[in-house]
Amino acid sequence: MPHDENLTADRPTFVSHLECAMTGERYEADRLHGLSRVGRPLLVRYDLAGVRGALARETLAARPADLWKYRELLPVRHTRNIVSLGESATPIVPLDKEPGNVWVKDEGRLPTGSFKARGLVMAIAMAKELGVTTIAMPTNGNAGAAAAAYAARAGIEAVIFCPDDTPEINVREIAAQGARVYRVNGLIDDCGKIVGAGKEARGWFDLSTLKEPYRIEGKKTMGLELAEQFGWELPDAIFYPTGGGTGLIGMWKAFDEMEALGWIGSRRPRMYAVQAEGCAPIVRAFETGERHATRWEGAHTVAAGIRVPQAVGDFLILDAVRASGGKALAVSDAALIAAADDSARRDGLLLCPEGGATLAAYRDALATGLVDAEEKVVLFNCATGLKYPLADASRWLDRHAPVDWAEL
């Protein structure tokens, strides 16, 4: 009784090799890899002609709606190595009360409540396939939670490091899901340094953003899913909360692969990378025309997920944003909080702070004419709003006292 054939059916796979995103140097598939020789991310390449012969859009439509339906465009060779907590396609919810044509892709509906599940399910499946026994990674919270959950399922040990002010719920869910979790007196890149050192000292496999090649393959399913949900016509603009930027890079990669397969044309959405004013290295590099971003000192924002002072894939983010005709945009904490409040109160959709940031940036973009009210726009809500503090606005009632109906 396989209720999801995506998880149990053997399907052909098409990875041909990996290549350095900076130099194009080739690396062999089916071996453990970290960064390239020049210290940059590796991208997975496929025999796309082979995929084209094996997989049609109509075939996809008939498969169960989860990310494993895209198996021919994913790196896992052996079905037995698939780990899954039910990575169902995330819904696209219109914000009816906002002006324009704007939808939220609600990634908070994935396992462990965030889009980190997409990247980590793939990274852990590949770690399993390639014989890894212990993974380590730095996290601002949600990535660690996803890593812990999938590692538990795969029988892989997980060691997680997060900044000491990481939301309490994230630290607790990581621990509950069987990982060893450490709070570190520093930011996420400080945590990354500990992982880097432990790699040698303890033989950990480093699952940091873009430091292994497979999280991006999982994240690219956001682009595949979006195209399929929009009837193979991509929206006009995408607002993406950008910390490490894996999802933005992954979607951009997915668009190219889909064009090569003849599934979509050459038109692309304008990609808007959204950051917080208190941590906006990509915005600064975009505005000064740099291809690499320098570290943002003194990073601070309530949107912990995008508090990433330095991203190893900075040039990939900036290349995609520029090629798309988009921009990198910063919003204030006040604006992202207000946007999230409005979405919950008026549209019934609880956004995480990073999701609120995309709504705030969209509002700015509409006001300044970057986006037209006729255009189709998708915002990414990267995690469930339930993981974040909400204000108390309850009143009290004593059932033994007479109810004053006029007051209710």
Question: Does 303 interact with a second copy (rule: CB under 8 A)?
Answer: no
| Closest CB 234 distance from a second copy, rounded Å | 10
CB atoms closer than 10 angstroms to residue 1: 2
Q: Pick the stretch among 11-19, 49-57, 69-77, 145-153 that binds a second copy (CB under 8 A).
A: 145-153
| Closest CB 9 distance from a second copy, rounded Å | 14
Question: Does 176 interact with a second copy (rule: CB under 8 A)?
Answer: yes
Interacting residue with a second copy among 165, 168, 287, 372 (CB under 8 A) = 168
Neighbouring C-alpha atoms within 13 Å toward the C-beta of 214? 26
Q: Which two tokens stand for residue 16?
A: 């041909």
Cα dihedral 238, 243, 246, 250, rounded to 10, equals: 10
Report the alpha-carbon distance of residue 23 to residue 39 in Å, rounded.
Answer: 10
| Closest CB 197 distance from a second copy, rounded Å | 7
Interacting residue with a second copy among 148, 188, 282, 306 (CB under 8 A) = 148
Residue list 54-73, contact with a second copy (CB under 8 A): 62, 64-66
Question: Does 180 interact with a second copy (rule: CB under 8 A)?
Answer: yes
Q: What is the per-residue binding string for a second copy in 91-110, x denoting contact by CB under 8 A?
A: xxx--x------x--x--xx
Binding residues for a second copy, total number by CB under 8 A: 90
Residue list 349-388, contact with a second copy (CB under 8 A): 349-350, 376, 384-387
In the bound state with a second copy, the residue whose beta carbon lies nearer, of 266 and 405, is: 405
Q: Pick the stretch among 50-58, 260-268, 307-315, 395-403 that binds a second copy (CB under 8 A).
A: 395-403
| Closest CB 113 distance from a second copy, rounded Å | 5
Which region, left, alpha or beta, applies to residue 113 given φ > 0 means left and ψ of -120 to 50 means alpha?
Answer: left
In the bound state with a second copy, the residue whose beta carbon lies nearer, of 39 and 178, is: 178
| Closest CB 317 distance from a second copy, rounded Å | 26
What does DSSP say about strands 42-46 and 270-276: parallel, antiparallel, or unpaired?
unpaired
Q: Which of 84, 71, 69 is nearest to 125 (CA)?
A: 84
In the bound state with a second copy, the residue whose beta carbon lies nearer, of 40 and 105, is: 105
Q: Which one-letter amino acid corresponds to residue 15?
A: V
Residue list 304-343, contact with a second copy (CB under 8 A): 341
Report the alpha-carbon distance of residue 171 to residue 180 in Å, rounded.
Answer: 10
> By the 8 A CB rule, do 48 and 17 touch?
no
| Closest CB 58 distance from a second copy, rounded Å | 11
Looking at the DSSP assignment, which residues form a beta bridge with residue 329?
274
Question: Does 9 interact with a second copy (rule: CB under 8 A)?
Answer: no
Question: Does 3 interact with a second copy (rule: CB under 8 A)?
Answer: yes
In the bound state with a second copy, the residue whose beta carbon lies nearer, of 145 and 210, is: 145
Question: Does 265 interact with a second copy (rule: CB under 8 A)?
Answer: no
DSSP-H helix ranges across 203-332: 215-219, 221-229, 246-260, 281-288, 314-324
Interacting residue with a second copy among 10, 233, 287, 372 (CB under 8 A) = 233
Q: Which two tokens stand for residue 20?
A: 């350095």
Which whole-number Å values give the CA distances from 49 to 45, 56, 216, 267, in the listed order? 12, 12, 21, 21
Q: What are the phi and psi torsion angles at 381 (to 5°)?
A: -95, 110
Interacting residue with a second copy among 27, 182, 284, 332 (CB under 8 A) = 182
Report the alpha-carbon distance of residue 132 to residue 204 in Å, rounded.
Answer: 8
